[in-house]
Amino acid sequence: MNDWLTAHGALTPFYAGVIQGAGVTVYTSSLAFVIGLALGVGLLVVRATGGGIARAVIAVYVSAMRGTPLLIQLLVAYYVLPSLLGISISPIAAGILALALNTAAYISEILRGALSTIPRGQAAAARALGLQPTQVWRHVLLPQLFHRAVPPLTNEYTVLLKASSLLSIIAVTELATVARNATLQSDLPLQVFTATAVVYFLMLWCASSVSRVIERYFARLLPNVH
C-alpha cells in the first residue's frame, strides 16, 4: 500500500506527457475517422453502383483489411509503402493512413448494412420523380443512411480510439507511448498503466456521450424516418 502512495511522486513523467499523449491519440484517431468516413462512403457508392470488376476489387480490399491485424497494416504503411512509392513518410502520417484505410473498410460494411435496410423502391421512386443519380444519393439515400448508421459508426470511432494505441509501435508519441516511457523511467508499471487505463476510459466515456448527442441530433433532423 505504501508503494502506491509514494508512487504519486514517481508518476511525474506520466503526468508531464499525458495531456500531449492523449491529444495525439484523439487527433490521430479523429483525423483517421474523418478520412475513413469519406473513403467508406466512396467505397459504398462504387460498390452499389459500379461494375463487376470495381465491386470485386472493393470486396477483396474489404476482406484483406478485415482479415489482417492492424499491427501488420501499420508496419506495411510505415516500412513498405514509402519504399514502394519512393517517398518518405513520418510515423504519424503512416499511422493515420493505416488507421484510415483500415476503418474505411469497416465503415463501408457498416453503411452497406444500413443501405440494405432502406427499401429499394425509394431510389427508384426518386429517379422516377426526375432526380439525377447524384441527387438520389445526396438527398434520399445518404441522409437516411447516416441516420441509421450513427450508433455503429460512433462505436467504430471508439474502436479506432482504442486501436490507435498500436501507433506506439511505430514510434508515434501518443498515450500508450507516454505510458511506456513513463514506466521505463519509474519502474512502476502497475500504477502507470492503471492511470493510462483511466485516461482511456475517460476519453471513451466522453466519446460515447458525444455519440448520444449526435444520435439525438439526427433523430430531430429526420423525425419521420423508420
Partner 1 sequence: MFIDFDVVEQAVPALLHGLKITAAVSAIGIPLGILVGTITAYMADAQRWPLRAVALGYVELVRNIPFLIVVYLSFFGLPKLGLLASAFSISIGATAFYTGGYFCEILRAAFRSVAKGQVRAALSLGLSDWQVQRHVVVPQIFGFLIPPTVSLAMMMFKDTAVFSVMSLPELTYQSNLMTADTFAYLEVLGTTALIYWGCSVVMEVLGHAMETRVRRWSHQ
Using CB under 8 A as the criterion, which residues of the chain lie in contact with partner 1 when the complex forms?
A: 63-64, 66-73, 75-76, 79-80, 83-84, 158, 162-163, 165-166, 168-169, 176, 179-180, 183, 189-190, 193-194, 196-197, 200-201, 204-205
Cβ proximity to partner 1, 53 vs 84, nearer residue: 84
> Is the distance from CB of 161 to CB of 29 less than 8 angstroms?
yes
Q: Residue 17 or 123: which CB sits closer to partner 1?
A: 17
Cβ(49)–Cβ(78) below 8 Å = no
Nearest to partner 1 of 125, 206 (CB atom): 206
33/53 Cα distance (integer angstroms): 27
For the CB of residue 214, give the shortest distance to partner 1 in the complex, in Å: 19
Q: How far is the CB of 201 from partner 1 (least distance, A)?
A: 5
In the complex with partner 1, the residue whose CB is nearer, 15 or 201, is 201
Cβ atoms within 10 Å of 18's Cβ, excluding its own: 19
- Dump the DSSP string for 120-172: HHHHHHHHHTT--HHHIIIIIIHHHHHHHHHHHHHHHHHHHHHHGGGGGGGT-
CB of 3 to partner 1, least distance (A): 9
Q: Which is nearer to partner 1, 113 or 133 (CB)?
A: 113
User: Which residue, 95, 104, 85, is CA-closest to 33?
Assistant: 104
Nearer to partner 1, 66 or 138 (CB): 66
- Closest contact distance (angstroms) between CB of 193 and partner 1 is 5
Q: What's the min distance (Å) between Cβ of 189 and partner 1?
A: 3
User: What's the full length of the chain, in residues?
Assistant: 226
- Phi, psi (5° rounding) for residue 158? -65, -35
19 Cβ contact partners less than 8 Å away, ≥ 6 residues apart? none
Q: Least distance from C-beta 46 to partner 1, angstroms?
A: 22
